């Protein structure tokens, strides 16, 4: 049995916003991402990567908005929607993903989870960056 993934939220200043394609905007809006959906998908994809240690989620939540267990308070609103996650995979590689294209924290977190899913799908179909 694997250990539950430990998420730890930290404050991150606002980053430079990227522009999203119209098709991306429409596809993500159709899914209506929420914090619960984003975290559910993120947990699932991190489990597929074999992540068992702490996952750092940097966002616009100020220190006083973060509970003792590392999650933001339910009533808190982040200063901005930018999100970066950092973790170590089962091969010991330190990985980091950031999304700044949405004003919504939930949408940006969902986009990172979807990226991890798409990368896993590419791996399943034998596509890999090494060319081997």
Q: Are 61 and 75 in contact (CB under 8 A)?
A: no
The residue assigned the tokens 């929420």 is 34
The phi-psi region of residue 131 (left if phi > 0; otherwise alpha if psi is between -120 and 50; otherwise beta) is: left
Q: Identify whether the C-beta of residue 60 lies closer than 8 Å to the C-beta of residue 11.
A: yes
Evaluate if residue 131 carries a pLDDT over 60: no
Cα gap 29→32, rounded to integer Å: 5
Tell me if 97 sits within 8 A of 56, measured CB to CB: no
pLDDT of residue 43: 93
User: Which comes out higher in pLDDT, residue 127 or 55?
Assistant: 55
Q: What is the pLDDT of residue 1?
A: 44
Pairing of strands 6-11, 54-59: parallel
- Find out whether 95 and 89 touch, Cβ atoms under 8 Å: yes
pLDDT digits (tens, 9 = 90+) for 2-52: 567 889 999 999 888 777 777 777 777 777 889 999 999 999 999 988 888
Helices 22-31, 105-124: axis angle to 10 degrees equals 100
């Amino acid at each position: 049995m694997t250990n539950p993934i430990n998420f730890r939220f930290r404050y991150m200043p606002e980053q430079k916003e990227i522009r999203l394609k119209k098709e991306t905007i429409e596809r993500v809006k159709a899914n209506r991402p929420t914090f619960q959906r984003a975290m559910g998908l993120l947990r699932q994809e991190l489990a597929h990567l074999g992540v068992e240690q702490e996952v750092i989620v940097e966002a616009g939540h100020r220190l006083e908005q973060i509970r003792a267990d590392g999650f933001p308070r339910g009533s808190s609103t982040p200063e901005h929607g930018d999100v970066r996650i950092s973790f170590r995979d089962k091969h010991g590689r330190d990985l980091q993903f950031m999304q700044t294209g949405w004003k919504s924290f939930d949408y940006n977190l969902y986009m990172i989870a979807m990226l991890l899913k798409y990368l896993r799908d590419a791996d399943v179909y034998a596509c890999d960056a090494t060319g081997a």
